[in-house]
């Protein structure tokens, strides 16, 4: 169920799901912290973006940055997502998890919210999101804390096979970083 995530709307969707006997996933739930116990009791998972938990208009004036932390503390299974708009913004998922940590979400819960929990929510528990025998061997080795924006993926394995760490971003970085052959001159002197 996707909407503005107002508490009253969340309660209506929970009631409808209960009456109709359907399984739902809340997407957004910006005011979920107000009804966290009800969401947990209904065993409804939530996809959220901790960055969108700022009031943007009068309808979402009760949003707060601690939404992820409050939902997690209530026992709601949460998955943190990237910013809306494009698949190219999926890389922001880990930044968003880091922001949730800075607003009270325990670090381990943030890691689960970008690994194990999405697999649980979408019915792929045991196949993805965790390191264990029988699960997909998709692993990234980071240069530092994966929730820190300056950390980079140093080694990537997909289905147990190491992947070349080449991307358009890396190629452009390497081309222009040191002013090597083919690099443009600096626009501004340092």
pLDDT at 44: 98
Predicted confidence band of residue 24 (pLDDT cuts 50, 70, 90): very high
> Which CATH superfamily, name and number, covers 7-131?
Metal-dependent hydrolases (3.20.20.140)
Structure tokens at 82: 């990237």
Give the residue from 139, 143, 181, 183 showing the smallest Cα distance to 161.
Answer: 139
pLDDT at 40: 98
In terms of pTM, does the model score above 0.85? Answer: no
* More confident of the two residues 30 and 189: 30
Distance of CA 123 to the CA centre of its chain: 17
Question: Max Cα separation, the chain?
Answer: 66
The pLDDT of 171-180, averaged and rounded, is 75
The pLDDT of 155-169, averaged and rounded, is 86
Q: DSSP secondary-structure letter at 14? A: H
Predicted confidence band of residue 179 (pLDDT cuts 50, 70, 90): low
- The answer to whether residue 4 scores a pLDDT higher than 80 is no
For residues 128 and 154, give the distance between their C-alpha atoms in angstroms, rounded to a whole number: 20
* More confident of the two residues 57 and 122: 122
pLDDT at 23: 95
Between 49-58, 60-69, 110-119, 153-162, the lowest mean confidence (pLDDT) is in: 49-58
For residues 98 and 45, give the distance between their C-alpha atoms in angstroms, rounded to a whole number: 20
pLDDT at 121: 96
Q: DSSP secondary-structure letter at 59? A: G
Three-class DSSP category at 181: coil
- The answer to whether residue 69 scores a pLDDT higher than 90 is yes
Domain range annotation of the chain: 7-131, 137-184
For residues 81 and 170, give the distance between their C-alpha atoms in angstroms, rounded to a whole number: 24
For residues 115 and 137, give the distance between their C-alpha atoms in angstroms, rounded to a whole number: 13
Q: How far apart are the first and last CA of the chain?
A: 51
């Amino acid at each position: 169920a996707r909407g503005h995530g107002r508490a009253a709307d969340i309660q209506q969707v929970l009631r409808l799901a209960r009456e109709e006997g359907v399984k739902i996933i809340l997407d957004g739930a910006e005011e979920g912290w107000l009804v966290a116990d009800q969401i947990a009791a209904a065993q409804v998972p939530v996809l959220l973006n901790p960055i969108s938990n700022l009031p943007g208009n009068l309808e979402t004036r009760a949003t707060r940055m601690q939404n992820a932390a409050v939902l997690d503390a209530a026992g709601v299974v949460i998955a943190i997502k990237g910013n809306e708009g494009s698949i190219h913004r999926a890389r922001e998922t880990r930044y968003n998890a880091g922001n949730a940590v800075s607003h009270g979400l325990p670090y381990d819960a943030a890691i689960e919210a970008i690994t194990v929990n999405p697999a649980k929510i979408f019915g792929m528990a045991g196949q993805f999101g965790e390191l264990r025998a029988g699960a997909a061997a998709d692993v990234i080795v980071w240069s530092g804390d994966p929730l820190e924006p300056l950390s980079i993926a140093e080694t990537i394995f997909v289905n147990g096979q190491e992947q070349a760490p080449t991307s358009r971003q890396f190629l452009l970085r390497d081309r222009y970083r040191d002013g090597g052959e083919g690099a443009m001159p600096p626009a501004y002197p340092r």
